[in-house]
Amino acid sequence: LPMKAFRSQVQMVFQDSYSSLNPRLTIEESVAFTPRVHGVPPREATERARYLLERVGLEPKRFAGRYPHELSGGQRQRVNIARALALRPRLVILDEAVSALDKSVEAQVLNLLLDLKAEFDLTYVFISHDLNVIRYLCDRVMVMYLGKVVEIGDTESVYANPAHPYTRALLASMPSMDPDHRTLAAPLAGDPPNPINPPPGCSFHPRCARAEPICERRAPVLSDALAGHPVSCLMAMPDGGHSLPMRRMTPGLHAATP
């Protein structure tokens, strides 16, 4: 596809809801601007902007003429979502789209995203450090460490059976409301390595409790032979050379190593 046509199919919602909006444009102008650039007649672009503002919960009569500084963070993020949908894209990338919002507003925006996903038949790529948000919103999850994929699979499969040590550490760090399941020890120690000069072999080995000398020499590749879904770990590879090969996981049980 030509780049302009590709851009009309892929839109993005940024983390900072204020800096991603032009302070000199009204809310209506911000949403209508992109369709006009892509050849939509001005009147139709304005009508589309008003419809989308109403769809994301911002009544056009009250909000269309306002400027970004006159809105709250949650309202500005709703404007960004409406703007992303103005070209009727197939894919929307959301980069930490709710991390700057308080929890009550975050819940409203997440429910809005689910409704819009169903209404407009959207595909989301949702980037987040909040594992609860990922579980609520996403059908599939990709866990990355130092710019590399370490585990990928259906959300419930990965959450129920985390195979990679980093994934297990992430899930162990999630706060629990149950006082009998408090986190008493840090799941991980040390700091992430320099991504410009990553360690040899497995990039996670300096922080992995199950690291062995071979982890420093051999870089793992994604394999689903033992874990049930793709995992980048020598323990998950039949010929990985690790002394603790991962047992084949049973649905509903956490992955374990001897």
Are 20 and 87 members of one domain? yes
> Is 244 inside a domain boundary?
no
* 7-15: average pLDDT: 90
Are 106 and 166 members of one domain? no
Number of structural domains (the chain) is 2
What is the DSSP annotation of 165-209?
HHHHHHHHTS--S-GGG---S-S--S-PPPTTSPPSSSTTGGG-T
Are 129 and 153 members of one domain? no
* Placement of tokens 């990553």 in the chain: 198
- Tell me how far CA of residue 60 lies from CA of 51, 171, 218, in angstroms: 8, 41, 58
Domain end position, chosen among 113, 137, 161: 137
Calpha distance 88→121 (Å, rounded)? 10
| Residue/partner pairs of 203-206 with CB below 8 Å, 24 or more apart | 203/145, 203/146, 203/148, 204/145, 204/146, 204/150, 204/164, 204/165, 204/166
pLDDT of 105 higher than 80: yes
pLDDT in tens, 159-182: 998 999 999 999 888 877 777 777
Compute CA 104 distance to the chain's CA centroid, rounded to the nearest angstrom.
Answer: 19
Amino acid sitting at position 120: F
Are 28 and 58 members of one domain? yes
> The whole model's pTM is what?
0.84
Domain end position, chosen among 137, 164, 188: 137
* Placement of tokens 């979502």 in the chain: 81
- How high is the pLDDT of residue 115? 94
The CATH number covering residue 100 comes to 3.40.50.300
Are 7 and 130 members of one domain? yes
pLDDT over 70, % of the chain: 95
- Size of the chain, expressed as the number of residues it contains: 258
* 44-69: average pLDDT: 94
Are 121 and 223 members of one domain? no
Are 13 and 129 members of one domain? yes
> Is 218 inside a domain boundary?
yes
More confident residue, 68 or 184: 68
pLDDT in tens, 224-236: 877 788 999 999 8
Range of the domain at 185: 140-236
The answer to whether 255 and 227 have CB atoms below 8 angstroms apart is yes
